[in-house]
Amino acid sequence: MEEVTRDFLDANQPLLRLAVALLLGSLIGIERGWVAREQKFGERIAGIRTHALVGLLGGLAALLSTALTPWAFPLVFLAVAGIALVAWRARLREAEDYSITGLVGLLLTFCFGAVALAVDPALATACAVVTAVILDNKREIHGLLYQLQAHELDAGLKLLVISAVMLPLLPDRGLGPGGALNPYEIWWMVVLIAAVSFVGYFAIRLGGAEKGILFTGLFAGLSSSTALTLHFARQSRLAPGLSPMLAAGILIACGTMFPRILLYAAVISPALLPALLLPTALMGLTLYLPALWLWRHHRGDGAIRQPVAG
């Protein structure tokens, strides 16, 4: 039975991939059609049917590029882009809607259809789902943007610079006497401290001091409890009333190290788990229980306030 199924799938690969292209176009079309559901028929530039057909057309264009001429895909893409642009300009004169998001979504639908046929249906599906989610969450995305402050945007960009730009440029080898100094590892610690500070700031801002500190401690325990300790020590000097909650966060971060050890052992050598389970559980509890006590006894402290971002 499995061999028959495999033979069927192998023999009908182009047809199945075209079906995926059609379904991906329908997915994005459902989202676009739902957004414009209150418009009258004929007023929408592209709804579920148009997007489904454009996705199928992208798959056919990729198929023709393989079977006939490499020029098939770019020519069909230019034709679709031209028609979409003409429709968008006509819509612009009537509704004065300057957004090109729908136009970009339509062109992406065409590309996803081509990727489903010529590259990988799973990749095309993932991209289409992400696109549909982004299109559907317009209000939420804009809401977050309106709430973002200038110094928060600057902090996020600086974090990206030190992690994505500067860190890869540093040599990952020991320098100095005995090779004791590794620039990459030193800067990696800087990145960890900055990332913990960044996540902690937004956790406290969104969830309040109590929940934000505990969430940050749990997050930092998965990466670096040392970085969290340094960050919370600075925060304690800025807001002494938060010291008990910050101490609870540090204990949670240190305690999370032990479940992390179990996870590493389960992945690398599962045979170690029986011997590690009881000791790590006991050591984790010795940190989690004091953290719970601090949190329960100081969560309603009137002196607790959100620390100043810095």
Whole-number pLDDT of residue 111: 93
Average pLDDT over residues 129-142: 88
Whole-number pLDDT of residue 60: 92
Whether pLDDT at 223 is above 80: no
Helices within 119-182 (DSSP H only): 121-136, 138-147, 150-160
Whole-number pLDDT of residue 113: 93
Select the more confidently predicted residue: 1 or 12. Answer: 12
Please, how many CA atoms are within 13 Å of residue 251, restricted to the half-sphere of its CB?
19
Whether pLDDT at 31 is above 80: yes
Whether pLDDT at 76 is above 50: yes
Whole-number pLDDT of residue 110: 93
Give CA separation, 201 vs 12, 55, 147, 237, 266, in Å: 53, 42, 14, 15, 32
Average pLDDT over residues 169-194: 81
Model confidence, pTM? 0.64
Whole-number pLDDT of residue 23: 93
Beta-bridge partners for 175: 181
Whether pLDDT at 215 is above 90: no
Q: Give the closest residue to 242 by CA, choosing from 210, 196, 202.
A: 210
**Does an H or E element contain 162, and which?**
none
- Domains of the chain, by residue range, sit at 2-143, 184-298
